[in-house]
């Protein structure tokens, strides 16, 4: 049985939470390997709705849930999210939740810096969630980070705090902010240490033992490939690598453990925040997609920008992430359209492109080249087999497969976990 790595293959918000929840029924371990509490995964289980930002989605189903070293961890948010889920009846203990001892911590001054930079950037805003994710990753790379394991050695943190303050106090002064209160920081860390440390484990050992035992491991990505810091629409990206290969380095399991790479893709395209969006529809059609798809960010509550399916971008995302198959979500949102459009290429002036050029000005200038597809009047909502789908809907799916050069493994037709058509079982590959 293969492991499975789930990644978003657009700009995030593709419906990963539902697909991960659906797959968790057969997974024994679920792993978050990058990002922070800027993820937004919504799980609908019966009449219960669970909204997760940091914890792996497997926690709701009782699977062993692991937060890998590639994640940046806000310990205060962790405390809040655990309390919220426990209030919904979810059991969370060190027996079913492990956190890598080497996870860098998101600290209060990271959140401060994130907001200060965005507010000062004017038209250059990236559109971050202001949760300190980027500044925490900067400190990790700058070898200044305080990590989970440091919470057990707070009396030894003097040199690390010196490095942090030397860096951040200069930045804070530039924004007219007071320096970091070191004593308060240490007191805050002492107060939260007992919350975090019971879950701290060498998760690379846990995962390698699980692999040796033949257990099925599900890697849960956050955001989307088009937000990858190397392969996304830079600079309007997140601060981590979101491609499937990151599952190896962000967990400690190694490349051979990544397994089947399942890219999650909406049947249309959405984006939250700033940045290029070639197929964006700023008209009644875009409004219709947003209304029918309930397109508001799980984390930020911001309205998502909507547009037609962009096969060029998904093909590019699938290629750089080594995608084995896709899960096509929200097909039912397209019900009732007389015709649908798919972007099959771009132009800038008289030059044609079959990929998104890397420079921000070119990305903003590209014009989509559309192919028109027949729509369908029948409802696909709740369909659980090919036989339940209109012929035109099947034709649309097949055309998407051709254009992105990647097969469809799953089709989702509503937020309910069982409203899913299984075409190819990722765990059996």
Q: Which residues form the catalytic set?
A: 13, 41
Torsion-angle region of residue 370: left (phi > 0), alpha (psi -120 to 50) or beta?
beta
Question: Are the C-beta atoms of residues 232 and 18 closer than 8 Å to each other?
Answer: no
C-alpha span between 341 and 36 (Å, rounded): 34
CA-nearest of 404, 409, 411 to 388 is 411
Of 274, 300, 277, give the one whose Cα is nearest residue 289.
Answer: 277
Q: How far apart are CA 68 and CA 361, in angstroms?
A: 36
Give dist(CA 389, CA 334) in Å, integer.
12
Q: Are strands 367-374 and 269-271 parallel, antiparallel or unpaired?
A: unpaired
From start to end of 35-190, where are the E strands?
A: 41-45, 48-52, 64-67, 97-100
Phi, psi of 381 (to 5 degrees): -60, 125
Length of the chain, in residues: 429
Question: Is 423 in contact with 385 (CB distance < 8 Å)?
Answer: no
Rounded Cα distance between 2 and 266, Å, is 24
Q: With contact defined as beta carbons under 8 Å apart, do 59 and 84 qualify?
A: no
User: CA-CA distance, 175 to 341, in Å (whole number)?
Assistant: 46
CB count within 10 Å of CB 69 equals 24
C-alpha distances (whole Å) from 342 to each of 149, 369, 381, 397, 403 are 49, 8, 21, 11, 9
Contact 58, 258 (CB under 8 A): no
Residue partners of 298: CB distance under 8 A and separation at least 6: 13, 17, 40, 41, 42, 51, 53
Query: Which residue, chain included where needed, has tokens 């937000």?
Result: 227
């Amino acid at each position: 049985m293969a492991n499975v790595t789930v990644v978003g293959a657009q700009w995030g918000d593709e419906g990963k939470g539902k697909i991960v929840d659906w797959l968790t029924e057969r997974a024994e371990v679920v792993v978050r390997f990058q990002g922070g509490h800027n993820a937004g995964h919504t799980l609908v289980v019966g009449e219960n709705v669970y909204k997760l930002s940091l914890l792996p989605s497997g926690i709701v189903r009782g699977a062993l849930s692991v937060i890998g070293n590639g994640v940046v961890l806000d310990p205060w948010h962790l405390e809040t999210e655990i309390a919220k889920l426990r209030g919904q009846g979810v059991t969370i203990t060190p027996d079913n939740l492990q956190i890598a001892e080497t996870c860098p911590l998101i600290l209060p001054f990271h959140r401060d810096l994130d907001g200060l930079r965005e507010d000062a950037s004017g038209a250059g805003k990236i559109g971050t969630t202001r949760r300190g994710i980027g500044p925490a990753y900067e400190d990790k790379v700058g070898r200044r980070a305080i990590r989970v394991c440091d919470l057990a050695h707070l009396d030894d943190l003097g040199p690390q705090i010196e490095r942090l303050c030397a860096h951040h106090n200069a930045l804070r002064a530039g924004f007219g902010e007071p320096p970091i209160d070191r004593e308060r920081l240490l007191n805050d860390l002492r107060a939260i240490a007992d919350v975090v440390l019971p879950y701290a484990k060498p998760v690379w050992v846990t995962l390698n033992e699980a692999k040796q035992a033949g257990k099925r491991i599900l890697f849960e990505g956050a955001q989307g490939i088009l937000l990858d810091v190397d392969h996304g629409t830079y600079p309007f990206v997140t601060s981590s690598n979101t491609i499937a290969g990151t599952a190896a380095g962000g967990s400690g399991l190694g490349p051979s453990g990544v397994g089947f790479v399942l890219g999650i893709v909406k049947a249309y395209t959405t984006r939250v925040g700033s940045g290029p969006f070639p197929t964006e529809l700023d008209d009644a059609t875009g409004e219709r997609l947003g209304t029918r798809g309930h397109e508001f960010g799980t984390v930020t509550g911001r309205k998502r920008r909507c547009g037609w399916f962009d096969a060029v971008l998904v093909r590019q995302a699938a290629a750089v992430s080594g995608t084995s198959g896709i899960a096509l979500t929200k097909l039912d949102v397209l019900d009732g359209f007389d015709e649908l459009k798919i972007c099959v290429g771009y132009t800038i002036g008289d030059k044609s492109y079959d990929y998104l050029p890397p420079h921000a000005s070119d990305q903003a200038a590209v014009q989509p080249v559309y192919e028109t597809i027949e729509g369908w009047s029948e409802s696909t909502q709740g369909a659980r087999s090919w036989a339940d789908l209109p012929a035109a809907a099947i034709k649309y799916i097949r055309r998407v497969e051709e254009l992105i050069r990647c097969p469809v493994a799953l089709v989702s037709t509503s937020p309910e976990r069982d409203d899913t058509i299984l075409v190819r079982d990722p765990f059996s590959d």
